[in-house]
Structure 1
């Protein structure tokens, strides 16, 4: 990771293009989907709601929020220690790639369905606008630390994962909603502890939340417009699977970067639990089933997955023989899979049965 110090009072240091982190199961991915299915999807059950959201998107309430104001000018972050600086750069990189991935997917969806589904085409176009704005803002923030990502190069070199449209709807909904909770929890924490706010981008997180929440609501409407995504046993299984996948990934990545959260005065484990709890509750508005995250086995199993993941990372830097590393890694991965499966078997909460009680 880059450790070069930057003094933004001068232009003596030249910004470098940062090599994007190696793709792993935990890194944000680029997706493609079945565009023909997207072109023919029926929206009649949610058309009124989607039209209202389109009007809101056109108004673009956040158009002036992502501007580098005076708080970014004539400032220096040389005082940040190595762990804080490197952890923050990792945070910015992951967030930038995630936002850029959404931009590419939404842009392509908008282009492919423009003639057959103009309502959703315009919505996707406007969501792509938001994601591009976020990605650019994050990449510019990285330049304050003397590094940026070459997003044009990443577009050409990054591998793309095909997801059926149904999977895209589930995963993007969750991505937007969990993003909302991550940003708003950090924002409210730093409001209470302004002494921990070491960089002005945190002031923008409330506006960011508005975009994430709005995008999630759009995908909520898309999901509820398709009965096959919520009104059968397969939908219940897929809901649980994607919820658990997103939550395990979140637990692993948060604990990998616990030093960054500590620099904000946030306990990584407590933050992880709060984000998962709130995202799970929010998902009850869309999904037919959610997870029982208050079950006494749920968080301990996720924490064991995280502990094993950290052991795997430690193995890479150990002096053990190659074959020993491989065997240990296989055992640790098997342990993660086992806890994932056991967490999946915890009896879920039937949200359709509680639909009238969910707000």
Structure 2
């Protein structure tokens, strides 16, 4: 196995786990919800679609996919230290997000009696656990694996109403699909940029993400009250929150995307636009990604985040006041983005979407 030693801040597994344990604005969270409400979900309105989707989950098309090959035994000790640090940050964030889905879905299966809901979330927990384990094995190669059992006990859980779980998780799964397929395609065009074999697994992997999103789409359309009335305003909020968070987080990792052969601005625009377009299958309203003002506001959020970090490093009263003012400006900036005119959307016919290759 590789003898690569990771740079700070991940000098040892416990530090990686501590990083994953954080509950900051840009870090993945663990969630809990109202399981009794989930138990009351009905899917009969779209029974044919549901049965088709669950049959696909049951067949487990990726059951033999997440197996390591000899490529993972390569020596990565000559990887540029800055790239290694960014790569590990990417993996730690990814394993936390995947494991978050695994434990939430497993808890839903455990706590509900509705046979449709139990079966679906059992399959999705299986998939997310498989993803998290595959990523964590790569982190083990760098001697910085996250202690997932500790994380289960120690990380703070955030309560979300079921409908918020639907919106946030649907978007998380679909944006994960869009990110993975763009990275995979990029390495097909530029194989010399593929600095680690894990990226070769992204095509089939992203099909799991897409399928999970489809499950939430059917759930929401089978329970249309989640998509009407005041919920349209919540949908706009979650669209913008997910997109803005990705934009800021990716721009903080600019060198990582440069190593992938991507301009981070181009990558984020492509991923966000694709996710926004996919969201038309279920959301009655989406974001106007053709509005340049929206991108300018995302950029302001990113620059404010960089400035906040600098102010906090400076310390003292001045630094704290500066950071507080910048956080206030972030709130105002997000509100400005929220009040940009959205795009009304007529829901398509009752058919499943297929991955966009």
Q: If the TM-score is normalised by the length of the shorter chain, which range does it land in? A: over 0.9
Asked if 1 retains the 8 angstrom alpha-carbon contact of 2:17 and 2:151, the reply is no
- Match of 2:39, SS state, is helix
- C-alpha RMSD of the superposition: 1.8
Partner of 2:46: 46
- Match of 2:145, SS state, is strand
Partner of 2:202: 205
Q: How does 1:12-91 map to 2 (within 5 A)?
A: 16-17=13-14, 18-21=16-19, 22-73=22-73, 75-91=74-90
Q: How does 1:163-202 map to 2 (within 5 A)?
A: 163-202=160-199
Partner of 1:261: 257
Q: Which residue, out of 310, 316, 324, partners 2:312?
A: 316
What CA distance in whole angstroms lies between the structure 1 residues aligned with 2:163 and 2:13? 39
What CA distance in whole angstroms lies between the structure 1 residues aligned with 2:174 and 2:57? 17
Q: Which residue, out of 332, 336, 343, partners 1:342?
A: 336
Going from structure 1 to structure 2, the CA distance change for 1:7 and 1:347 (only over 3 Å counts) comes to closer
| Shift, 1:235, TM fit | 2.1
Partner of 2:289: 293
What CA distance in whole angstroms lies between the structure 2 residues aligned with 1:285 and 1:58? 23
| Shift, 1:192, TM fit | 0.4
What CA distance in whole angstroms lies between the structure 1 residues aligned with 2:4 and 2:224? 55
Partner of 1:11: none
Asked if 2 retains the 8 angstrom alpha-carbon contact of 1:183 and 1:205, the reply is yes
| Shift, 1:15, TM fit | 7.4
Partner of 2:325: 331
Per-residue CA deviation, residues 39-72 of structure 1 (Å, 9 max, x unaligned), is: 1112221222111111101111101111001211
Q: How does 1:265-284 map to 2 (within 5 A)?
A: 265-284=261-280
- Match of 1:31, SS state, is strand
Going from structure 1 to structure 2, the CA distance change for 1:7 and 1:305 (only over 3 Å counts) comes to closer
What CA distance in whole angstroms lies between the structure 1 residues aligned with 2:31 and 2:317? 34
Segments of 5+ residues of structure 2 without an aligned counterpart are: 6-10
2:109 is the alignment partner of 1:140: no
Asked if 1 retains the 8 angstrom alpha-carbon contact of 2:41 and 2:117, the reply is no
Per-residue CA deviation, residues 108-163 of structure 1 (Å, 9 max, x unaligned), is: 111111x3x11121110010000000000000000111111111111111000000
What CA distance in whole angstroms lies between the structure 1 residues aligned with 2:139 and 2:23? 19
Segments of 5+ residues of structure 1 without an aligned counterpart are: 9-13
What CA distance in whole angstroms lies between the structure 2 residues aligned with 1:48 and 1:96? 33
Asked if 1 retains the 8 angstrom alpha-carbon contact of 2:312 and 2:320, the reply is no
Select the structure that is richer in helix.
2
What CA distance in whole angstroms lies between the structure 2 residues aligned with 1:300 and 1:16? 38
- Match of 2:18, SS state, is coil
What CA distance in whole angstroms lies between the structure 1 residues aligned with 2:185 and 2:17? 33
What CA distance in whole angstroms lies between the structure 2 residues aligned with 1:242 and 1:102? 17
Asked if 1 retains the 8 angstrom alpha-carbon contact of 2:13 and 2:147, the reply is no
TM-score relative to the length of structure 1: 0.92
TM-score relative to the length of structure 2: 0.92
- Match of 1:80, SS state, is coil
- Match of 1:148, SS state, is coil
- Match of 1:161, SS state, is strand
